[in-house]
Amino acid sequence: MEFVSSFNFAVWIFFIVCYSYQMLYIAVPFVKKEKPHKPVKEHRFAVLVSARNESAVIANLIESIKDQTYPEELVDIFLVADNCTDNTAEIARNCGANVYERFDKVNVGKGYALNFMLNKIKEEYGEDKFDAFFVFDADNVLDPNYIEEMNKGFSDGYDILTSYRNSKNYGDNWISAGYALWFLRESMYLNYPRMLLNTSCAISGTGFMFSKNILKRIGNWKYFLLTEDIEFTVDHVTNDYKIGFCKDAMLFDEQPNTFTQSVRQRMRWAKGYIQVFCNYGKHLMRGMFKGSSFSCFDMAMNIMPALIITTSNLAVNLTALVAGLAAGVDVSPLLGGILPCLWGMYTTLYVIGAITTVTEWKKIYTTPFKKILYTFTFPIFMFTYIPITFMAFFKKVEWKPIVHTKSKNLADIKNMN
C-alpha cells in the first residue's frame, strides 16, 4: 500500500509539472490581444474532400462552399469517392465538384485517399495552379465567411492553418456533446492561446489548410497512420513549422452519438496517438532542446503522457485493491486515496467544460438546459477514454468509416436552440 501511495503522489506531481501550462492557457484569451492582419491578398484554393458512402451529407458541404463570401472563381472543389458503393460521386458531380473515384481495399483510409487525389490534381493542373489546399470531411458545413477568414491568416504568412471546430449535433446526447465540448475547448483554450503566444497550434482532423510550399516539401501526402492529422502536425512542428489558428473561420461536423461507434472511433485515435509517438517521439524529444522546443513539448504532452499515465495509474490502483481484498488487508487507506483523486479529475474536467460552455454559449446550438446538463456529463465522457486507451494497447485497430446521417445545412444547425 505504501508503494501505491508513493506512485499516486508521483503521478500527481507529474501532472502538475507537465500540464499546469494548459490551465494557464485558459487565461491567455482574456489578457492578450490578437495582432492585426497584414494586407490581404486573394489566393486560389483547392478544396479536398475524401468521402466514402456520404450521399446523405455531401451536398450540404458543397453548398456551403459555394455560398462563401470569398470569390467563387478562386475556389475549386475536388472530391475522391473512396471505395463508395452508393451515389456519392454522382451527387458531388451534380453539385459542381471535380470527382475522382478510387477503389482500393488494401490501402484503406483518409491518408491514402488524399494522396491519390493530390496526385491526380498534380497530373492535371501542375504544381502551381493552386496557392493552397483545404481539407474537409464530407459531413462538414462551413460558415459563409470561412474561406475569407482563412485567407487572411494565409496572407499573414502561415503555410498551415487550422480553424474553429463546432458541432452539427451537439444536443443529440451526452456522447455527441462530449466530443463537441472537447473540440470547442481545443479551439478556444488550446489552439487560440497557442496562436496568441506565437507558438504552434495542432490540426484536429478536419478544417485545415496547407500551402503549395508544404506540398512541395513533402512531395506527396505521406501520412498514413490512424491519426494522419496528428502525424501531419507533429512532422511539421518537429521541422520548425508554425501552424496557425483562425478563430473566426468556423465549421460544423457531425459527432458520433452511439457508444459503440464512439468507442470504435476513439480506439482508432488512441492507437493512432501510440503510433505517432512511436514514430515521432524521438524527434519530439530532440526538438524540445532546439528552436521549436516549447511546441515540441506541447505536442508531446497532447499525444501521449496523460492517457498512458492515467491508464497505468488506474491499473496499479485496481491491482492493489483486488490484491488487498483477496489478502484480507484493510484497503480503506487505498480507497481514501483513489476517491479524492477521481473527484479531483472530475472537478477539473467539469471546470474546463463549464468555462468553455459559458464563453462559447452563443456558438453552441442546442437548448440552454442541455448546455448546462452536458457540462456535468463531460467528465464522464472523458473518463471513458481510460478503458479505451487500455484496450488500444492490445487490440489490433483498423481504419473504418464513421456513418454520417445528419443532413443539415447551416440554417438547420443554427435553428436548433
Domain boundaries, the chain: 1-417
pLDDT, the chain, mean: 91
Give the per-residue pLDDT at 392. Answer: 86
Q: What are phi and psi of 206, to 5 degrees?
A: -140, 165
Give the per-residue pLDDT at 236. Answer: 95
Give the per-residue pLDDT at 49. Answer: 97
Average pLDDT over every residue of 197-205: 94
Distances (CA, A) of 278 to 204, 221, 263, 289, 307: 20, 20, 22, 19, 15
Instruction: Indicate the pLDDT class of residue 329, thresholds 50, 70 and 90.
Output: confident
Give the per-residue pLDDT at 1. Answer: 60
Does position 307 have pLDDT exceeding 70, yes or no?
A: no
Average pLDDT over every residue of 163-180: 96
Handedness of CA 216, 218, 220, 223 (dihedral sign): negative
Does position 337 have pLDDT exceeding 70, yes or no?
A: no
Instruction: Mention every residue, 6+ apart, whose C-beta is less than 8 A from residue 181.
Output: 353, 356, 357, 374, 375, 378
Instruction: Assign a CATH topology to domain 1-417.
Output: Spore Coat Polysaccharide Biosynthesis Protein SpsA; Chain A (3.90.550)
Give the per-residue pLDDT at 314. Answer: 72
Give the per-residue pLDDT at 2. Answer: 66
Give the per-residue pLDDT at 17. Answer: 80
Grid coordinates standing for 355? 468555462
Q: How far apart are the first and last CA of the chain?
A: 51
Q: Which of 26-35, 266-275, 327-336, 346-355 has the lowest mean pLDDT?
A: 327-336
What's the predicted TM-score (pTM) here? Answer: 0.92
Q: Which of 109-123, 170-184, 399-413 has the lowest mean pLDDT?
A: 399-413
Instruction: Indicate the pLDDT class of residue 403, thresholds 50, 70 and 90.
Output: confident
Instruction: Indicate the pLDDT class of residue 291, thresholds 50, 70 and 90.
Output: low
